[in-house]
Amino acid sequence: MRHEAAERPSASQEKRDGYNRNKAMRLALFQPDIPQNAGALLRLGACLGVGVDIIEPCGFLLDDKRLRRAGMDYLAAVDWRRHNSWAAFRDACRGRVVLLTTSGEVPYYDFAFAADDTIMVGSESSGVPPEVAISCNARLAIPMRPGMRSLNVALAAALVIGEALRQTEGFP
């Protein structure tokens, strides 16, 4: 069973809000605190043509050598944007925000992704606050064996981005 978390804007809303049906999928990192994971996700974005949004504050400086080491020379090839807060990100975001969370209601493989979705992961140490989770259009989970808490955010994002790109025929 496929789940649609939010209705698409009407034609008049699309025109008024500047909604772009052809906008490419994006990945958002909510207040990341491990530079190696952020670097790996920026590299993932570069390789798959998925833009990356970094929602600050981060738990490290964005010029951290560990971020550069994980991202290698791919950092120059990714479309990435910094947002100084959750509110600034929401103001800039035009598609649905789909949160990956251990408390998600829908398994990611049962969700109908759209080409303009932004898939968001929380910080490694604390996820996202409840008010952020509630404001997302969908909350997805990756089913795991009993007793296992969570996957690394970079692995979780790669798994779900792969499924989303498969569904939307968005692989390069």
CA angle, 172 as apex, 67 and 9 as ends, to 5°? 90
Q: What pLDDT is stored for residue 23 in this prediction?
A: 61
Q: What is the 3-state secondary structure (H, E, C) of 28-89?
A: EEECCCCHHHHHHHHHHHHHHCCEEEEECCCCCCCCCHHHHHHHHHHHHHCCEEEECCHHHH
Q: Considering the entire predicted model, what is its pTM? A: 0.84
Helical H segments across 83-170, by residue range? 86-92, 130-135, 153-167
Domains of the chain (ranges; CATH) run 23-167 (3.40.1280.10)
Residues lower than pLDDT 70 in the chain: 1-23, 64
Per-residue pLDDT tens digits for 73-115: 888 899 999 999 999 999 999 899 999 999 999 999 999 999 9
